Chains A and B, each alone.
Chain A
Amino acid sequence: MDWTEILRFSRGPLLHVAMMIFIVGMSYRLVKVILLGWERDRAANKGSKLWGVILNYLKGLLVLPFIPWVRRTFRNNALTFIAGGLFHLSLFVVLAFGTAHILVWKSLFGISWKSLPTPVVAFFSAAGIISLIVLLINRLTHPVLKLLTKLPIWINWVMVFLPMITGFIMARHLWFRYEVIFSLHLISVSLLLIWIPLGRISHFLFYFFSKTIHGAQAGKRAIMP
């Protein structure tokens, strides 16, 4: 098998088609949900909806990830919470500040910024992989998660794990020839992009709906979200 050919295919047509499917698929889902219609809430407000929304995002993004014990609930669920938070943070650091990824963003959007030092990015990519494994073990053992997890959720896990592990191996120059591991990384990224519109990884988009709704409801009722 000629890996140079495969690499050319996977970084070219495959990735482009995958990106198209991702964009079209997600737009379709977004439009579909929006078109289901929104009823106006006619009950008079007690407090400010906008303030509730702002507070809810601040709490969700700044307070909860760093101070998990603010809500007693997390005493019972520290694992999901910490591993889940670390996973998302790692993903953000690696995708936004890894040298190779910055080049991708530059080629796509024409803007670039400074990358973080390699050891930092390496640390986070390892942390991301480890937390993903921890989350898998948790999912395999926790009674509620066992009940909630059906085939598509397992596929989600695999689809996210593959780009992360291949990316890590590639960045650390381990075991494989460059063309081989880069191809595998790109193929797995493409598969992920094609899969996202079908599964629950799409929560990155619908997060903004539910988070806004909850914040507005809390604000409207004059309570802390």
Chain B
Amino acid sequence: MKTQLAINTYLKETGGWVASQLEACTRCGICAEACHFYQALGNPEYAPIWKLEPLRRAYEQRFTVAGKLKLALGLEKKLTDADLEHWSKIVYEACTVCNKCAHVCPMGIELGPLIHEVRAGMAAAGVVPGDLAEATEKQKTIGSPLGVTDEMWRERIDWITDEWEVDIPVDKAGAETLVVFTSIELMKFPDNLAAIAQILNKAGENWTASSKGREVVNFGYFEADEELTKLFMYRVFRAAEELGVKKIVISECGHAYDAFRWTAPNIMKVPKGVEILHISEYIHELWKTGRIKLKEGAFDSETITFHDSCKIQRRGGIIKQPRELLKVLAPTSFKEMTPNKAQAMCCGGGGGVISIKEADANRYAVFKMKLEQLQEIKAQSVCMVCSNCRLQFVDSLAHFNSTVKVHGLAELVAKALV
């Protein structure tokens, strides 16, 4: 029964886009070498293409002669509930949907988005790791995956306002820009939230946060439950429409940027004429247009590097902007890790993985490779533009007793404001 729900989702999602890519695979296995989970743990089931098995089987058995033949000859079986349970662990706990695999696939198969479809079937069947489902439920009922209530949100914003002595406008009528933060920033990295406010205030931006659209993180998107994905974005869009803003700025969260920037227009009604920007590209624009000025070499005293987040850099194209800023902040001490930019390795915490306790061993194993990349260039600090990555870095660096410091880009920019 569960399985049928998953299969129905797969068949519904299977357009030419999915089918042609599934047909293109030659079973060469090169994608495995791009997967940080496979590299770190060596489990062949973590090969990205293997993660597509449920989707492939549903597609082939329904739409292709070969699939039907295999079924008739007993070479392949129909999907079962046990299969779903099995693959659920693989696609949620050993995949961050980072899409690096797509860049090494000789056929160019977009494995990341296809794995997202596999997750969609799991979500429809309700076969989602407990921790992830719980956080999603919290976001649905309370409004935040961390369980931040309306009241807590206001108190926290007030506290940050006092503590950092920074003005954070809330529900300001006539504002041009709506900035939506993550609960992670609110609860764990308030310095970053304050930094963003300082930068925008310094630039003279007419901005506001919203008490109704206060959560940018999208756990529906992690689960790949389309209805919830839409619901969580709808809350923000509705707030934007009510406020009449012209821009929505997504704060430091990768999956949220991906959902708002690239997915929303394809699955729901989006407010017309409202631009979606990531905070890192927006800060860059403010600097480029001279609205903020930065102290050159403000962080030039120790080796600093930049961690590329999958959804913001590899999938979002915001590659040169943070680097241009860092070259101002640390002209001589900024160093690139290898690989970097679109080819960078994911931190291991994205795609909801970090919220699943059972996946801790996986994400630490992956992070060990990231740590090696940091050590290779003797980085003393690392900077990034995604608080989900930042959470993974802070937690994992402590796990490995490393002294490398972690910064949000906004935090560095705010400190260098002149």
A: residues with CB less than 8 A from B are 29, 32-39, 41-44, 46-47, 56, 60, 64, 71-74, 76-77, 80-81, 84, 142-153, 197-200, 202-203, 206-207, 209-211, 213-215, 217-218, 221-225
A144 contacts B38, C-beta separation under 8 Å: yes
Which residue of the partner chain, among B29, B109, B266, contacts A80 with CB atoms under 8 Å? Answer: B29
A43-B261, A144-B44 known; A200+B27 contact, CB < 8 A: yes
Residues of A near B342 (CB, < 8 A) are 218, 223-224
Which residue of the partner chain, among B14, B39, B319, contacts A223 with CB atoms under 8 Å? Answer: B319
B107 contacts A210, C-beta separation under 8 Å: yes
**Number of contact residues on B: which range applies?**
35 or more
Q: How far is the CA of A29 from the CA of B64 in the complex (A)?
A: 8
Whether B339 is near chain A, meaning CB under 8 Å from some CB there, is yes
Q: How far is the CA of A39 from the CA of B267 in the complex (A)?
A: 11
A29-B23, A153-B27, A221-B317 known; A213+B15 contact, CB < 8 A: no
A-B pair number, CB within 8 angstroms = 161
Q: How far is the CA of A42 from the CA of B102 in the complex (A)?
A: 22
The 3 closest A-B pairs by CB, nearest first: A214-B108, A209-B20, A222-B317
B23 contacts A206, C-beta separation under 8 Å: yes
A33-B20, A33-B23, A39-B17 known; A71+B103 contact, CB < 8 A: yes
B263 contacts A43, C-beta separation under 8 Å: yes
Residues of A near B316 (CB, < 8 A) are 221
A209 contacts B47, C-beta separation under 8 Å: no
Q: List 30 A-B contacts (CB under 8 A).
A: A29-B23, A32-B63, A32-B64, A33-B16, A36-B14, A36-B19, A43-B261, A43-B266, A47-B317, A56-B108, A64-B106, A72-B343, A77-B33, A84-B28, A144-B44, A147-B44, A148-B50, A149-B27, A203-B24, A207-B107, A209-B21, A210-B20, A210-B105, A210-B110, A213-B17, A213-B108, A221-B262, A223-B315, A223-B342, A225-B108
Q: How far is the CB of A65 from chain B (nearest CB, A)?
A: 9
Residues of A near B70 (CB, < 8 A) are 152
B343 contacts A80, C-beta separation under 8 Å: no
Residues of B near A34 (CB, < 8 A) are 16
B106 contacts A37, C-beta separation under 8 Å: no
Q: How far is the CA of A128 from the CA of B44 in the complex (A)?
A: 28
Q: How far is the CA of A60 from the CA of B104 in the complex (A)?
A: 10
Whether B75 is near chain A, meaning CB under 8 Å from some CB there, is yes
Residues of B near A46 (CB, < 8 A) are 317
Q: How far is the CA of A161 from the CA of B65 in the complex (A)?
A: 24
Q: How far is the CA of A112 from the CA of B34 in the complex (A)?
A: 42
Q: How far is the CA of A207 from the CA of B23 in the complex (A)?
A: 9
Residues of B near A47 (CB, < 8 A) are 317
Residues of A near B21 (CB, < 8 A) are 206, 209-210, 213
Q: How far is the CB of B369 from chain A (nearest CB, A)?
A: 11
Whether B123 is near chain A, meaning CB under 8 Å from some CB there, is no
Who on chain B is nearest to A42 by CB? B265
Residues of B near A80 (CB, < 8 A) are 28-30
B30 contacts A223, C-beta separation under 8 Å: no
- Interface-centre pick from A43, A73, A217 (highest chain B CB count, 10 A): A73
Residues of B near A146 (CB, < 8 A) are 44
B: residues with CB less than 8 A from A are 14-21, 23-30, 32-34, 38-39, 42, 44-45, 47, 49-50, 63-66, 69-70, 75-76, 102-110, 261-266, 313-317, 319, 338-339, 341-343
- Interface-centre pick from B33, B104, B108, B343 (highest chain A CB count, 10 A): B108
Which residue of the partner chain, among A39, A81, A202, contacts B266 with CB atoms under 8 Å? Answer: A39
Q: How far is the CA of A197 from the CA of B66 in the complex (A)?
A: 9
B110 contacts A213, C-beta separation under 8 Å: yes
Q: How far is the CA of A34 from the CA of B23 in the complex (A)?
A: 12
B266 contacts A42, C-beta separation under 8 Å: yes
A42-B266, A211-B108, A213-B110 known; A198+B24 contact, CB < 8 A: no
B110 contacts A217, C-beta separation under 8 Å: yes
Which residue of the partner chain, among B24, B28, B45, contacts A147 with CB atoms under 8 Å? Answer: B45
Residues of B near A42 (CB, < 8 A) are 265-266
A73 contacts B26, C-beta separation under 8 Å: no
Who on chain A is nearest to B99 by CB? A217
Which residue of the partner chain, among A38, A44, A77, contacts B30 with CB atoms under 8 Å? Answer: A77
Q: How far is the CB of A194 from chain B (nearest CB, A)?
A: 13
Residues of A near B261 (CB, < 8 A) are 43
Residues of B near A60 (CB, < 8 A) are 106, 108
B16 contacts A38, C-beta separation under 8 Å: yes
A44 contacts B265, C-beta separation under 8 Å: yes
B20 contacts A213, C-beta separation under 8 Å: yes
Residues of B near A143 (CB, < 8 A) are 42, 44
Who on chain B is nearest to A35 by CB? B16
Who on chain B is nearest to A142 by CB? B29
Q: How far is the CA of A44 from the CA of B270 in the complex (A)?
A: 12
Residues of A near B76 (CB, < 8 A) are 150
Q: How far is the CA of A46 from the CA of B319 in the complex (A)?
A: 12
B110 contacts A33, C-beta separation under 8 Å: no
A36-B63, A72-B338 known; A202+B314 contact, CB < 8 A: no
Who on chain A is nearest to B342 by CB? A223
Residues of A near B38 (CB, < 8 A) are 144
B47 contacts A144, C-beta separation under 8 Å: yes
A42-B266, A73-B34, A214-B110 known; A150+B75 contact, CB < 8 A: yes
B69 contacts A202, C-beta separation under 8 Å: no
Q: How far is the CB of A7 from chain B (nearest CB, A)?
A: 31
B25 contacts A200, C-beta separation under 8 Å: yes
A147 contacts B47, C-beta separation under 8 Å: yes
B29 contacts A144, C-beta separation under 8 Å: yes
Q: How far is the CA of A60 from the CA of B69 in the complex (A)?
A: 33
Task: List 18 additional A-B contacts (Cβ < 8 Å) besides A36-B16, A73-B34, A210-B21.
Answer: A32-B19, A36-B15, A37-B16, A38-B16, A38-B17, A43-B265, A72-B339, A74-B33, A144-B44, A147-B44, A150-B76, A197-B65, A209-B23, A213-B17, A213-B108, A221-B316, A222-B319, A224-B342
